[in-house]
Amino acid sequence: MNASTGSTGKHGKDLHEEASPLPVKHFDFSFEDKNSDDLSADDTKVLSNLRVVFNFLVLPYVSICTEKAEHLEVLLEPLGKHVRSYYGNQGGGTLPKDTSVAVCTIEKANSLINRFLEEGRLSELRIIVIDELHMVGDQNRGYLLELMLTKLRYAAGEGNI
């Protein structure tokens, strides 16, 4: 697993911090060829440092959510971390306290963030990874992604994150 800031993405796109209005750290979760036995010491250290706070992986499609949730379960369950799925009919409106990573569609992530805002618990969110951020421009679902990001930016400006 490689973490970088302001580097070139795996698809050759330039990922400069200046391109985003949000604080950005780009992570390359390239575990496709690894199983939990093949993790390096650095990979294991990063994964095991996921504390009892909530981390979201927001993906655009149910099929991708299914694939990534299954993959993360294989990696994280041996470390005692719990992956929860929030897409389609999966999950509900709340996150159990033992959740390390919530794999969500845009719609479910927005709903969960609304719940956290209503309950004053947004500070419990530590990492929100949004894949396919360019979907902000999508005619059908882009508005929801933009709305979610706007709420997070507003809350961050108020010191709630």
Tens digit of each residue's pLDDT, the chain (161 residues): 334 334 344 433 444 444 444 444 444 444 444 444 555 656 555 555 554 467 899 999 999 999 999 999 999 999 898 999 999 888 877 788 888 999 999 999 999 999 999 988 888 888 899 999 989 989 998 999 999 999 988 887 754 44
Q: Give residue limits of the domains in the chain.
A: 51-157
Q: Cβ(62)–Cβ(107) under 8 Å? A: no
pLDDT given at position 121 = 86
Distance in angstroms (rounded) separating the CA atoms of residues 145 and 137: 9
Topology (CATH) of 51-157: Rossmann fold (3.40.50)
Residue type, 10: K
